[in-house]
Structure 1
Amino acid sequence: MTTVFGDRDIIVVDLGFGDAGKGATVDWLCSPNADLDVAAVVRFNGGAQAAHNVVVDGRHHTFSQFGSGTFSAVPTVLSRHVLVEPIALAAEARALAGLGVPNPLQLLHIDAHALLTTPIHVAANRAREDARGDDRHGSCGKGIGETAAYALDHPDAPTIGDCHRPAVLRAKLAAMEEHYRDLLSPSIHRSPDLDDMVTMYSEFAAAVRITDDGDLAALANSGRVVFEGAQGVLLDEWRGFHPHTTWSTVEPTNAHALSAEHGHDSHVLGVTRTYTTRHGAGPMPTENPTLGAVLPEQHNDTGSYQGTFRIGDLDEVLLRYATDVCGGVDSLAVTHLDAVTRAAAAGIPLRSARRYPGVGHLLPLGPWQDLTHQQHLTDILSALTPDTAWLPTHRADVAAHLGSLVSAPVVLTSDGPSRAARRVREPAAA
């Protein structure tokens, strides 16, 4: 794989609505199979709502805040762009220890500037989503959007570094609790006692490595870095389809910047399924519930806040849009190639949306940070029925087709969830 990536950092981004296989891809890149000498996995967006499934030698874990290279003992850096939830992080560490990972917390490096997600944020997030009723946005209910929104209006929002300063942290938590007093119902949405939270966060700070840059500078000096994205580009806070978006920059701008800070060049590896999926509310032009019967999801189901896991045919218009949002991708990983033959064997061959009536092959890009424009795109996607065509029925042909759509070589494919199902495809020489 070094012939593909050279000595560059690798930025792994999901070119859909999430669940494309980023975690399994990162696990493989960090494994001995790839021989890439990865020094660290850096999380560059999102928070505890991430759910990256990795299957290795009979072990399965859904990575949330730990990097998906953990089974290969690759350290995780939670950068300043990540929203860190220590309670969930401690629970994830216990789960990993139960799977044979020795002392998982010692693999963590956390940037002190990362925002702290607390039970107060979680309770506020769920209260707002409950109040929306049938108009829910599709939130995971993990407090991510609330953490980001509160910090926009409150420069003194709590950070991971505050876990080392109990008095400062308690004052910030008290101000937050007062801010949310009218929203939170004491009988339904409650947060723990402030003193208990401060004690817990102080213990967390003593158990993990917290530094001004998450130790990224030192780790980057010792080898290649893999940047692991969370969610999918189609859920990006400014490029996604408002209001069904995440409060996070999913496209690779921040990862490029972090890599450049340490003098590295970076390579963007896009990840896509052979069909479209999304969790919960929001437009999905190619939704095809019939596919759910023949393409069951082993590791994805309905979330209490996020909603139903939905399946549809491939959407080439959205795949092109996501690639353009990223500024292009350097290579492609195609997952779930086995779905091509499974669907065909069941008499429901996969289709793909080639164009949208009245729109064509491309959605209009930008202007960024214009929610009116993004709402306009949401309205377009919600109202149309795309023009579709059959996908090829041979896996290699489907992979080649997807590579041509994004104008990038396919360098990795998979026929299932496990590490053993990954296949390297060396691109032809230029």
Structure 2
Amino acid sequence: MANVVVVGAQWGDEGKGKIVDWLSERADVIARFQGGHNAGHTLVIDGEVFKLSLLPSGIVRKGKISVIGNGVVLDPWALVAEIEKLAKQGVEITPDNLMIAENAPLILPLHGELDRGREAQSSVAKIGTTGRGIGPAYEDKVGRRVIRVADLADEATLQTRVGRLLVHHDALRKGLGLPPVDVDKLMADLREIAPKVLPFAKPVWREMNTARKAGKRILFEGAQGSLLDVDFGTYPFVTSSTTISGSAASGTGMGPGSIDFVLGIVKAYTTRVGEGPFACELFDSVGEHLATVGREKGTVTGRSRRCGWFDAVLVRQTCALSGVNGIALTKMDVLDGLKELKICVAYELDGKILDYLPTAADQQARVTPIYETMEGWSESTAGARSWADLPGAAVKYVRRIEELIDCPVALLSTSPERDDTILVTDPFAD
């Protein structure tokens, strides 16, 4: 059976939630492999809206196994709150349909406090984080002092880990003008949350490999976008994990041979949330159209997304980095009514033409887009379910994108409804 990795091929917010939900109906296992509860997926199922931050999108589907892998940093309080919220919407979550990697790192309250304290420093350039502690938790993971899910089961280990952690954090907090961590309260909070989390803890690597050998279809669900990758994104305005497809295997304890198809989710224009370079950003009426018609607000933060024309340079680059086999092009209907469309086909920097985004931060901030103009369309593409339902100009726009990014369209999404999808290539085809 084919196993599929879904990654965002821009700065995130590409509509991964709908696509993952659409695919999850045919998958047996749906696994998150990186990120934290700064990720946001909005699902619309039979008219009901589900907003997820940490749980895999497959959790709303009966008969599916959802997995939070070791590559995810887990806020246990956010997890419990999300489980309780979904329960009110009729979604039952038990250890039978959700498993969490025993070696997944925990996000503690002190991580969020450190995150927000750093962003508040006027002398330091803001990165635009969500302030939820994701970055500091990954720092502690790499620094070998993080608390992991399995540690919650043993009081002696937990005390040792907390002691080591606070030696580091109290020094940082002093420099930021924050008080020392109340160790008694932290320990009490961890003891209280432990029995709510531990029933879901399993050796995910073993369960995932067993599922693969049994011929189960696995869907790996990425969070954030490829341009927020800590190595290949617009550093330092990035997230703290590896968001490209290669981390699907390491983030769940599987080998690279477990990946059969990589699906890149791509919006028909470009958006990003937070700080950082954005060569194609628009500040005119078109930008306002994209933001308004596209309802460009962050699922998790509610922050307005910055909007701009489609950047083929960036998407070609991210498709190469993740080995994308096909893209799912979303939100085509937002472009309805625009008389002309522009696509960024190259950059100009200091008199030179570039066909890629340079690594140096100052150069990323200074590149200017070179546009190709195409005819728009006045007809509606919303709800189209076949190529015949699309205006000719819309079809030309899609075909030109395929040429420029050197990658075919596998799916075309024409509304938030899961059935409003044109299937070209089935990622799960054997």
The answer for the alignment partner of 1:332 in structure 2 is 327
State the one-letter code of the partner of 2:276: G
Cα deviations by residue, 1:204-239 (Å, 9 ceiling, x for unpaired): 234423325272123332511001111111110011
Aligned residue for 2:131, secondary structure, equals coil
270, 280, 284: which is aligned to 2:264?
270
State the one-letter code of the partner of 1:25: I
Unaligned runs of 5+ in 1: 1-6, 366-373
Compute the displacement of 1:105 (Å).
5.7
How far apart, in 2, do the equivalents of 1:95 and 1:420 lie?
Answer: 25
The answer for the alignment partner of 1:309 in structure 2 is 305
How far apart, in 1, do the equivalents of 2:265 and 2:300 lie?
Answer: 23
Cα separation, partners in 2 of 1:95 and 1:147, compared to 1, 3 Å: same
- Is the CA contact 1:164–1:205 (under 8 Å) kept in the aligned structure 2? no
How far apart, in 2, do the equivalents of 1:259 and 1:391 lie?
Answer: 45
Aligned residue for 1:356, secondary structure, equals strand
Cα separation, partners in 2 of 1:167 and 1:197, compared to 1, 3 Å: farther
- Does residue 57 in structure 1 map to residue 46 in structure 2? yes
Compute the displacement of 1:92 (Å).
1.0
The answer for the alignment partner of 1:4 in structure 2 is none
Select between 250-259 and 155-164 the one with higher mean Cα deviation: 250-259
Would you say how many aligned residue pairs link Structure 1 and Structure 2?
399
Compute the displacement of 1:42 (Å).
1.1
Normalising to structure 1: TM-score of the pair?
0.85
- Does residue 300 in structure 1 map to residue 303 in structure 2? no
Q: Identity rate of aligned residues, in percent?
A: 27
How far apart, in 2, do the equivalents of 1:194 and 1:104 lie?
Answer: 26
How far apart, in 2, do the equivalents of 1:49 and 1:307 lie?
Answer: 12
How far apart, in 2, do the equivalents of 1:412 and 1:392 lie?
Answer: 22
Matches within 5 A, 1:14-29: 14-29=8-23
Compute the displacement of 1:101 (Å).
0.9
Cα separation, partners in 2 of 1:14 and 1:141, compared to 1, 3 Å: same
State the one-letter code of the partner of 2:201: R
Unaligned runs of 5+ in 2: 377-392
Aligned residue for 2:223, secondary structure, equals coil
The answer for the alignment partner of 1:44 in structure 2 is 33
364, 383, 393: which is aligned to 2:366?
383
How far apart, in 1, do the equivalents of 2:129 and 2:366 lie?
Answer: 22
The answer for the alignment partner of 1:226 in structure 2 is 219
Cα deviations by residue, 1:78-112 (Å, 9 ceiling, x for unpaired): 11111111111111111211222123564211111
How far apart, in 1, do the equivalents of 2:96 and 2:242 lie?
Answer: 27
The answer for the alignment partner of 2:86 in structure 1 is 96
Cα separation, partners in 2 of 1:23 and 1:214, compared to 1, 3 Å: farther
The answer for the alignment partner of 2:384 in structure 1 is none
Compute the displacement of 1:247 (Å).
0.8
- Does residue 127 in structure 1 map to residue 117 in structure 2? yes
Select between 189-198 and 102-111 the one with higher mean Cα deviation: 189-198
Compute the displacement of 1:143 (Å).
0.8
- Is the CA contact 1:43–1:78 (under 8 Å) kept in the aligned structure 2? yes
Matches within 5 A, 1:388-427: 388-393=371-376, 394-426=393-425
Compute the displacement of 1:392 (Å).
4.4
- Is the CA contact 1:352–1:388 (under 8 Å) kept in the aligned structure 2? yes
The answer for the alignment partner of 1:371 in structure 2 is none
RMSD of equivalent CA atoms: 2.7
Aligned residue for 1:215, secondary structure, equals helix
- Is the CA contact 1:78–1:109 (under 8 Å) kept in the aligned structure 2? yes
The answer for the alignment partner of 2:157 in structure 1 is 168
- Is the CA contact 2:273–2:303 (under 8 Å) kept in the aligned structure 1? yes
How far apart, in 1, do the equivalents of 2:262 and 2:2 lie?
Answer: 10
The answer for the alignment partner of 1:12 in structure 2 is 6
- Is the CA contact 1:79–1:214 (under 8 Å) kept in the aligned structure 2? no
Normalising to structure 2: TM-score of the pair?
0.85
